[in-house]
Structure 1
């Protein structure tokens, strides 16, 4: 993520949901409109921003990797996003690889902090430390892939979260063997009014300005952004670089309703 992560109420709710799924060794479904922050929350929960390059390219180690080992040891989570044409065989191979590499990293951390000693290495080496697998874009999964995930869940006792668009829970209800194992469902909602104001204040500060809801111009700007984005986090992140560009090109200092409308006109904004 290019900008600092903003901890919202919805992210906290997602964290509580993921913790409950992980503790209960069950299956959870997370659904919500595109752009509300589901993937960002999942990546944050799994510390995937830190671990992605290491787990993907699996190259030579550096001393700084110890921080990644520690982060993975805290999360005990693997995040997996299937490609559009992922077959069950590819899913199995890629997921096996991600879990194996994550386990190796966790073992490295446990050894460094003394939880694994030469006496216990043989007994603990090869043990699975991953407690949760999060699958993003799960609408892409075919029935056979779902059955593969269910089988892994039954055999390995690894909790599972599937993330997707609204209607995901209805889609999976057609597979009773899988759906009967679902323990939690979580709806990820757009930003509420108070949270949207909090996020806007952060964006105003990043541009070196102060947002005052009592000021008429700022109040108009807030109303305009609320109408355009409807609390969609991704739209907010796309809108503000354009606002900054409009301010710079026109040598303006104040974020007005006209500035926001000009910025929004450069974006393709679909329904959310």
Structure 2
């Protein structure tokens, strides 16, 4: 299954942590700051950034329908570009890909807002107000300098997403770090919210478990403890729970079912 297919199978869950994340992104966009967001793997940084930027709506136009197919009207309000750098790439290649994405997003925004037979303008204004760079820990100093130069020249907000420690690494580059206006820590969910998602919104994580399957409080508590509020672990554990129930023709999730599901997973830093 491709990453795009896997994402399509899961409906986004707007949590309290996501709402705090959107406030951080809004401020970086509004004040044109550089923001740094750090969090453990699996807590939801990437999927939250994609949802905020509507990237799952925009991405199918790269490159198959670029400049040919009219996008849905919701694209008209998009002002963010999402980018994940490859493991190894030159600063010029990174700049070129970001520029390509900015140009296409600007075209899509303009096309989505056009009505009837209105003509395509000779020059489409740049719509980029926020650039979100995922996996920023991959970036070498020359790539960071390239991003800083683009930020200075073009006046958009810039957000770097990465693992804990990214903010300390960036502090070694004063020309970039002096421009950082916000540092946001993306936390795992709390116990109550984790329990609510597992028991009431499991379908949004791509599994088909009936609400009555969660009547055993001990089993629910075990799932909350094992996942620790980590979205990726929640999804993986629930998928294995669903598999164990099906294999054993069971309807109720018990602590034994949860333990059997846990034993099939490699649970570390997700």
| TM-score using structure 1 length | 0.89
C-alpha separation in 2, matches of 1:145 and 1:57:
28
Who is 2:197 aligned against?
Answer: 199
Residues 113, 210 of structure 1: alpha-carbon distance in 2 compared, 3 angstrom cutoff: farther
Q: Which stretch has the larger CA shift, 183-192 or 70-79? A: 70-79
Residues 231, 141 of structure 1: alpha-carbon distance in 2 compared, 3 angstrom cutoff: same
Deviation at 1:71, TM superposition (A): 3.3
C-alpha separation in 1, matches of 2:97 and 2:264:
38
Equivalences for 1:12-27 in 2 at 5 Å? 12-27=19-34
Equivalences for 1:244-259 in 2 at 5 Å? 244-259=242-257
Aligned partners of 1:224 and 1:257 also within 8 Å: yes
- Structure 1 residue ranges (4+ consecutive) displaced by more than 6 angstroms after TM superposition: none
| TM-score using structure 2 length | 0.90
Deviation at 1:134, TM superposition (A): 0.2
Gaps of 5+ in 2: 1-6
Secondary structure in structure 1 of the residue aligned to 2:112: helix
Who is 2:179 aligned against?
Answer: 181
1:10 aligns with 2:32: no
Who is 1:66 aligned against?
Answer: 71
Deviation at 1:148, TM superposition (A): 0.6
Residues 32, 238 of structure 1: alpha-carbon distance in 2 compared, 3 angstrom cutoff: same
Equivalences for 1:1-272 in 2 at 5 Å? 1=7, 2-58=9-65, 61-62=68-69, 65-67=70-72, 70-112=73-115, 121-122=121-122, 125-201=123-199, 202-203=201-202, 206-210=208-212, 218-271=216-269
Deviation at 1:59, TM superposition (A): 5.0
Q: How many residues align?
A: 259
The CA deviation string for residues 137-184 of structure 1, in whole angstroms up to 9 with x for no partner, is 000111011111111111100110000011111010000000000011
Deviation at 1:89, TM superposition (A): 1.6
> What is the root-mean-square deviation of aligned Cα atoms in Å?
2.1
